Amino acid sequence: MIKNMIVGIALLSVMPITQAEVDWTPRLTVLQDSCTSSFHVMDELPKKYQTSILKKDETQVKNKYSGNDLTTTYYLKDATAFGLPLDKLKEDTNDEDFHYKQFSMVFKDVNFMKLRPSFYYTAQSPIGATYVITADNPRQGTHHDASEGIHVKYKNTSTGYDVDDQSSEAMSCQTELNFDKASKTLSCSMFCG
């Protein structure tokens, strides 16, 4: 009996321990509508996400106009997003221009391209009117409705969109969504000013 227990313990100690995958989808779905949370995805990160970060790397390059361009790369282990294997997350900012941010998801294969129809842009006026740009919209266009307070110009393709939204009274924003098949990267970038 003791001999069997010792053999059992020995077998358990040499068996590889597999870690459960961490699904980042709940954290990243906020990017599907207008890339709006690209500024805050990694803020106050719950512990379950922190445990899937294998390594964090930061680089800084002097910007030719002002400040430094900062890239923070989070290398992930056993991570998925939208049901697909996720390799890393990247944030690009400038330490003097706080109106710009790019957030990227780097996948392990090109299957992420099928996610394009689930990403869209919603222009919203101060009175609550909305205009939605989906993957099915024309390749480019302008939607201007003075009575609803919406003014948006866009370019739209199977690999993303580029939207100039001047609907807000406070500021206008330039938002880009890019599905880059070559680098297996889905990026959201936003500049408001």
Sign of CA dihedral 57, 48, 52, 191: negative
3-state secondary structure of 168: coil
Structure tokens belonging to residue 140: 């480019």
Q: What percent of the chain has pLDDT over 70?
A: 90
Cα–Cα distance for residue pair 107/37, rounded to 1 Å: 19
User: Is 106 domain-assigned?
Assistant: yes
3-state secondary structure of 69: strand
Residues whose CB is less than 8 angstroms from the CB of residue 8 and which lie 6 or more positions away in sequence, other chains included:
none
User: Is 90 domain-assigned?
Assistant: yes
User: Is 144 domain-assigned?
Assistant: yes
* pLDDT for the residue numbered 2: 52
The 8-class DSSP code of residue 21 comes to: P
For the chain, the domain total comes to: 1
> pLDDT band for position 10 (50/70/90)?
very low
Cα–Cα distance for residue pair 55/91, rounded to 1 Å: 14
User: Is 9 domain-assigned?
Assistant: no
User: Is 67 domain-assigned?
Assistant: yes
User: Is 28 domain-assigned?
Assistant: yes
* CA angle (15, 20, 21) in 5-degree steps: 135
100-155 pLDDT, tens digit per residue, is: 889 999 999 999 999 999 999 999 888 889 999 998 888 999 999 999 999 999 99
* pLDDT for the residue numbered 193: 74
87-107 pLDDT, tens digit per residue, is: 999 999 988 877 788 999 999
Residue (of 133, 138, 86, 130) closest to 109 by Cα position? 86
User: Is 7 domain-assigned?
Assistant: no
User: Is 117 domain-assigned?
Assistant: yes
- Average pLDDT value for residue range 31-51: 89
Residue scoring higher pLDDT (69 or 87): 87
Largest CA-CA distance found in the chain, in angstroms, rounded: 83
- Average pLDDT value for residue range 66-83: 95
What range defines the domain where residue 45 resides? 21-192
> What's the chain's average pLDDT?
87
